[in-house]
Structure 1
Amino acid sequence: MAVLLLGLVLFLGVHSTRIVADGWRAGMLARLGERPWKGLYSLVSLLGFALIVWGFARARQSPVVLWTPPRGMNHVAALLMVVSFVLLAAAYVPRNGIKARLHHPMVLGVKTWAFAHLLANGTLADVVLFGAFLVWAIADFASSRRRDRAQAITYPPGTARGTTIAVVVGLLLWALFVVRAHAWLIGVSPLGL
């Protein structure tokens, strides 16, 4: 569990600099320059992510069961994951109505992903991993919205085409992940496929 916790501290820590230390982040960006800052940020993120994967895999070998989710929660989680993947796609598809309306769909997608997995899993490692990401996503979304208001940031209006592309790409990614990638990457088929 210590490896998982260290990974979460590194990964979510570096992703929290705008939440808790935006002034420090701006100073480091000015001192180091954009490319070196992004390189350092990426290096710490990758190290944290690798430790999260390794630590979670180790924790799953000796699970501490806190509760057994009610029957059917994996199906509720799968439906929430549809929303999560659409939000993820909306973060990258230009001029879609989802991003125009919600402003930070990636963070909302992480929030939905974490909540869905908390519903469907009841081990200590699950609560630590998905709970940490849920708390981070809530804090990051609130911080991002405050920063948008303070800087009077506006988002371009969405188009029907952009919104349709975001939804279709999200649905395709969800289907691919449910049918193949989740079992291959995580070792568990979310719907028992």
Structure 2
Amino acid sequence: MEMLISGVLLWSLVHLMKSVTPGLRASIQSAIGEGPHKGLVALILLGSLALMIFGWRSATPEFVYDPPTWGRHANMTLMFVAILLLGAAQGASRIRQWIRHPMLTGVLLWAIGHLLANGDSRSLVLFGGLGLWALISIFTISHNEGAWVKPVKIASIGRELLSLVIAAVLYAILLFVHPWIAGVPVIAG
């Protein structure tokens, strides 16, 4: 479980540096340069992902709470919405007219969905920890940026439909690879 906790903390701390401690981030960047700083951050984030994946797979899940019977179905729905939001964060989208931080909101929905479907200790650490990181990030980034200025550029209907198709394909791929990533099948055979 220590590996999983370390991975979640490392991911969260590195991401929160920009919005919580911008002075510290800037001083590190000026000391080692922008390129090496980006490389270091990328390596740390890859390391944190490895810690989370291997930590998840090696942790023994212990019962913490009983998820609702409808939680698994809610998670399946929230996952599609989360994927759609992650895509909306990548470019022009009508979704960005309604949601200020679509990527972080997608991560938050991913976390909530998984907490509704799972009631074990490792789920609480991984999904609760990353959900909390996403929520804190939404507030700190919004505070630093000030009043929300909605994007002027919106996507065409064709682009929005393409986003739905891409989200559906990614959703199907995730259903297929989930057992190999998490060690847990999404659909029980």
TM-score when scaled to structure 2?
Answer: 0.90
Confirm or deny that 1:130 pairs with 2:127. Answer: yes
Match of 2:51?
Answer: 51
Paired amino acid for 1:64: E
Query: Does the 8 A contact of 2:94 with 2:154 survive in 1?
Result: yes
Query: Offset of 1:154 from its aligned partner?
Result: 5.2
Match of 1:102?
Answer: 99
In 1, Cα distance between the equivalents of 2:21 and 2:151? 24
CA deviations on 1:96-120 (whole Å, 9 max, x unpaired) are: 1113432321111100000100000
Match of 1:4?
Answer: 4
Query: Does the 8 A contact of 1:75 with 1:191 survive in 2?
Result: no
Match of 1:183?
Answer: 179
Distance 1:2 1:143, change over 3 A: same
In 1, Cα distance between the equivalents of 2:7 and 2:173? 27
Alignment of structure 1 residues 17-166 onto 2, 5 Å: 17-59=17-59, 62-92=60-90, 94-149=91-146, 155-159=151-155, 160-166=157-163
Paired amino acid for 1:181: V
Identical-residue share of aligned pairs (%): 32
TM-score when scaled to structure 1?
Answer: 0.88
Paired amino acid for 1:170: A
Structure 1 unmatched runs, 5+ = none
Distance 1:31 1:99, change over 3 A: farther
Query: Does the 8 A contact of 1:4 with 1:52 survive in 2?
Result: yes
Structure 2 unmatched runs, 5+ = none
In 2, Cα distance between the equivalents of 1:144 and 1:168? 30
In 1, Cα distance between the equivalents of 2:187 and 2:72? 7
Bigger shift: 182-191 or 50-59?
182-191
In 2, Cα distance between the equivalents of 1:95 and 1:45? 26
In 2, Cα distance between the equivalents of 1:36 and 1:156? 34
Alignment RMSD (CA, Å) = 1.8
Distance 1:20 1:137, change over 3 A: same
Runs of 4+ that moved beyond 6 A: none
